[in-house]
Structure 1
Amino acid sequence: MGNEYHTDCVVPTVKRGGGSVKIWGCMAADGVGEMVVCESRLNSAKYIQTFETALMPSLTSIFGDTNSDGVIFQQDNAPYRKSATTLRWFTDNNIDLLDWPAHSPDLNPIEHLWGILKRRIKEYNITSKTSFKNALLQEWHGMPSQVRNALRSHHAR
């Protein structure tokens, strides 16, 4: 009696809904690029920084060089993504933007990958934000075949 709070009797649990993590990732038909865990809300400057630290290296890893000529980038219409500063960065880096209809997340093939990622992450014993980030990164880089499937299913639509 009185031992119920003793460390031998207590099992730690992780409650769901204790926070969120925003991630940015990119993909092409040949696989996934970098994934970035965003620690704070994005604005134009942070979004551009993500491109410089993740998108441009992804072009090298996916296509073999940093030449962005002919790259068509798809993104939604969030204000920081459509700001003059962000649009100028795309122009300066020779990256064309795909016209994006409002309120159309189902048109983006990466949404399929986010769904796969969420299902896979549920299999982990997540005990902290760090273990969550590590699981995200591990699963993200294990998805090449799912990328092709996502693009095929997107093309069929």
Structure 2
Amino acid sequence: METIIFIEEMNIEFKDRKKRICMRKAIAEKHNQDCIIQRTKQGSGSIGIWCCMSCYGLGIHCIFDGRLNSTRYIQILNENLIESMEKLRQDQPFIFQQDNAPCLGPEIATKWFTDKKIECLK
């Protein structure tokens, strides 16, 4: 019987991404530079976490800056997935399940899995 290995990635925003800051100030302070907070661009101040897991446990995790794209995704797979599969292998073949997120470049990922001879869940 084959074992499924799952991946999951997520981003954590640690700065106010929606740029909502509530504060009280007197009318005279409206344009006072000491009462003005610079806003950051959308998406700044985020970190990402990638991990894989199976019924045998957790694989290697990876923390990365910013958002995940197809180039970074392939780099993470190269650096972490193969080693995780070796760590989790229990004499059972794996089927890999990915979430096919559009930002990860499904065609690029599919080619990577084909090249590495890793079976993916349809």
TM-score (norm 2): 0.56
Which of these residues, 39, 45, 56, is aligned with residue 82 of structure 2? 56
Which of the two has greater strand per residue? 2
Q: Return 5+ residue gaps in structure 2 as ranges.
A: 1-12, 16-44
Q: Residue 61 of structure 2 aligns to which amino acid in structure 1? A: M
Q: Deviations over 1:112-148 (max 9, x none)?
A: xxxxxxxxxxxxxxxxxxxxxxxxxxxxxxxxxxxxx
Counterpart Cα distance in 1 of 2:50 and 2:104: 12
Counterpart Cα distance in 2 of 1:40 and 1:22: 6
Match of 1:83 in 2: 106
Match of 1:70 in 2: 93
Which of the two has greater helix per residue? 1
Partner SS, residue 97 of structure 1: coil
Partner SS, residue 21 of structure 1: strand
Match of 2:63 in 1: 37
Q: Which has the larger radius of gyration?
A: 2
CA RMSD, aligned part only?
Answer: 2.5
Residues 1:94 and 2:117 are matched in the alignment: yes
Q: Deviations over 1:55-92 (max 9, x none)?
A: 11111211179xxx932111212114343221100011
Partner SS, residue 79 of structure 2: helix
Counterpart Cα distance in 2 of 1:60 and 1:38: 22
Percent identity, aligned pairs only, is 40
Q: Residue 79 of structure 1 aligns to which amino acid in structure 2? A: P
Q: Residues 83 and 63 from structure 1, CA distance in 2 versus in 1: closer, same or farther, beyond 3 angstroms? A: same
TM-score (norm 1): 0.45
Matched length = 81
